[in-house]
Structure 1
Amino acid sequence: MKAELGGDPFSGTVYVFRAKRTDRIKLIFWDGTGMCLVAKRLEDGEFRWPKMQDGVMHLTAAQFSALFEGLDWKRVHARDPARVPVTPG
């Protein structure tokens, strides 16, 4: 898998594969004791996928969570850092 996908499968990375049908995905990841394969099929709706570039995409944890729940992950954005008030003086 390392040669094909260009990453370390033992690093905690979750590899997500889409099926031809848009309501199904498969995930492969290392849980510390072995490789895990998870398959998910949505009862209603479809998984929203971005346009692929070079066959690989990188999602934040929040975007991945939204994708896995069947939500539109493109609507998930990182918060802007909080601005610290400055004391006049």
Structure 2
Amino acid sequence: MVSLSPTVRIWLARSRSICENRSTVWRPWSATGSRAIRSGDIFVFRNRAADRIKLLIWEEDGYAIWYKRLEAGTFRFPPSPEAQPRVEVRAADLVMLLEGIDLSSVKRGKRYHRPVPRATV
């Protein structure tokens, strides 16, 4: 599994076709520039059938891909406005997503979350 530090940013892509065509991988992040793509953030993609998921991570010397294919069921991304090409989630949300938990039905108690300074590249 991927190690998740508190400072890592995790982005879910709304477009499902990105998982199948790597030439379109960067479209949701093209507005942020190539520095953001190589920042160490985790980019999460799923296919149209939502039974496969890819995590794309920049390491020191290149990209690493983590891939999971479900034998049954689907990955359920949280709802977000249609205009947003991507949505940021926390590490706990990613773990729940990979375990098959529907994030839209998760009920969270009130908690304090200290702002985490984001690493800049």
TM-score using structure 1 length = 0.70
- Judged with a 3 Å threshold, the aligned counterparts in structure 2 of structure 1 residues 60 and 4 are, in CA distance, closer, same or farther, namely same
Which structure is higher in RCO with an 8 Å CA cutoff and minimum separation 6? 2
Contact 2:78 2:102 in 1 (8 A): no
Deviations 1:21-52 (A, max 9, x none): 11111121112232012221112221011223
The match for 1:72 is 102
SS across alignment from 1:62: helix
Q: Percent identity?
A: 33
Q: What are structure 2's unaligned runs of at least 5 residues? A: 1-25, 113-121
SS across alignment from 1:26: strand
What amino acid is the match of 2:30?
Answer: E
The match for 1:50 is 78
Deviation at 1:80, TM superposition (A): 1.7
Q: How many residues align?
A: 81
Contact 1:18 1:24 in 2 (8 A): yes
Deviation at 1:10, TM superposition (A): 2.0
Q: What are structure 1's unaligned runs of at least 5 residues? A: 82-89
Distance in 2, Cα, partners of 1:56 & 1:22: 16
Q: Decide which moves more: 19-28 or 72-81.
A: 72-81
The match for 2:92 is 62
Asked which structure has the greater CA Rg, the reply is 1
